[in-house]
Amino acid sequence: MNRAVLHIDVNSAYLSWTAVEMKKNGEAGDIRLVPAAIAGDPGTRRGIILAKSEPAKKCGIRTAMTVAEAFRLCPDLKVFPPRHELYAAYSERLFELLSEYTDVIERFSIDECWLDYTGSEKLFGPPREAATDISRRIKEQLGYTVNIGVSENKLLSKMASEMRKPDRIHTLYRHEIEEKMWPLPTGELFGVGNAAADTLAKIGLVTIGDIAGTDISVLKSILKPAVGQMVYERANGIDDSPVLSGEENERKGIGKSVTTPRDVGSEEEASRILLSLSEQVGFSLRDSGKRAGVVSVQLKNTVFKTYRHQKKLPGPISSTSDIYAIARALFYEMWRGENLRLLGVSLSDLRDMDENEQLTLFDEPKNNALEETQDYIRERFGKGAITRGTLL
């Protein structure tokens, strides 16, 4: 049986969900039709743009741009604060609708997922037909639009959904990649960042097709073996990874990484980033009612060499301070003093919060009241509502 995989991506999710909620509450206009954005702190014009409308995009406003920059480009920009509790509720409604088509759904983020549609054709028709039905129902029942990529694997369905937006359905099967994918710039290949694209450009590889037609040994020599292998396979549409759902996906754990806009070469700056990442994964861990038995740290330097260390814990943890302490220890085990461009913290071996915790001889029961209060504030007023002083 041929595989069928759909990739669903909500168009400007935070802004779309905010717009739908405002209309439900009697707002006459639609912020999706005017220059508008969701950003950290509209009042002080601090923070970055998290989502923007199509009219804002036409003004030159981009995701991750600072609010101050955005206002310089568009003085009439309407900016709204993030409402993460609202987004979580809208996300759940989306996944409830999608679960009617298959029970094999891998959540990639709050507004993005893969569906393994293999075998569902007998119930809902061919993949493209099902995608059309899903798109229509989301628009009519939930009030916003999505992009859907249709293919035979996760990579190509993801690449398809990234094509022309918004409110589109695209197919990208292996027999279509020469026409649809190979002419694209190398930087648009899923998993290839700006630095790797620049390195490839130096030897004349400027399109995905250039990569696909290059001897794999050349790619391995300039990008390191594992990266070269990955880039070659992706350029040729090769991806056998399964769509992981439910408990399978949960076992993968919770992770967060950041590619820094500039080289990170100091212990102090790296520690701040690790603390921020620890806070984010810790919040997600507690929000899901879990504790973690393994903490992992990933580093990537400026020549793309990646280091990973992990620690299996004697007992599961959920505290940000515990996660950060272990992450820092792992960082010092592998950091060689070189400049870094990526840092990541991930948690795995997840267990339910209500499972009995086995304390070691020297452990004391922890009082997590402070972190519970911080989590409540973030859930109620948004993740930017409370911040550690060291991260300001």
User: For 204, left (φ over 0), alpha (ψ -120 to 50), or beta?
Assistant: left
In the numeric block, which tokens belong to residue 105?
A: 């759904």
What is the C-alpha separation between 38 and 186, in angstroms, rounded?
29
Which CATH number is 253-391's, of 3.40.228.10, 3.30.1490.100, 3.30.460.10, 3.30.360.10?
3.30.1490.100
pLDDT digits over 101-134, tens only? 998 998 877 889 999 999 999 899 999 999 999 9
Query: Is pLDDT at 249 greater than 60 in this prediction?
Result: no
**b/e code 29-63 from CB counts within 10 Å (16+ = b):** eebbeebbbbbbbbeeeebbbbbbbbbbbebebee
Q: pTM for the complete prediction?
A: 0.67
Residues contacting residue 15 through CB under 8 Å, at least 6 positions apart: 31, 32, 36, 37, 38, 51, 52, 53, 80
Topology classification of domain 29-80:
MutS, DNA mismatch repair protein, domain I (3.40.1170)
Angle (nearest 5°) at CA 124 between 122 and 130: 130
Q: Which residue has the tokens 């990579």?
A: 155
User: Which range among 30-39, 130-139, 226-235, 288-297 shows the weakest confidence by mean pLDDT?
Assistant: 288-297
What is the C-alpha separation between 8 and 259, in angstroms, rounded?
24
Topology classification of domain 5-14+85-176:
Alpha-Beta Plaits (3.30.70)
Q: What is the DSSP letter of 177?
A: H
C-beta separation of 297 from 312 below 8 A? no
What is the C-alpha separation between 27 and 112, in angstroms, rounded?
27
Topology classification of domain 182-235:
DNA polymerase; domain 1 (1.10.150)
Residues contacting residue 24 through CB under 8 Å, at least 6 positions apart: none
The catalytic residue among 112, 152, 279, 371 is 112
Q: Active-site residue 54, yes or no?
A: no
Provide the residue type at 165 as one letter. Answer: K
Domain limits of the chain? 5-14+85-176, 29-80, 182-235, 253-391
What is the C-alpha separation between 215 and 267, in angstroms, rounded?
39
Nearest-CA neighbor of 328 among 264, 268, 284?
268
- The length of the chain, given as a count of residues: 392
pLDDT digits over 250-278, tens only? 556 788 888 777 788 888 899 999 998 99
Provide the residue type at 273 as one letter. Answer: I
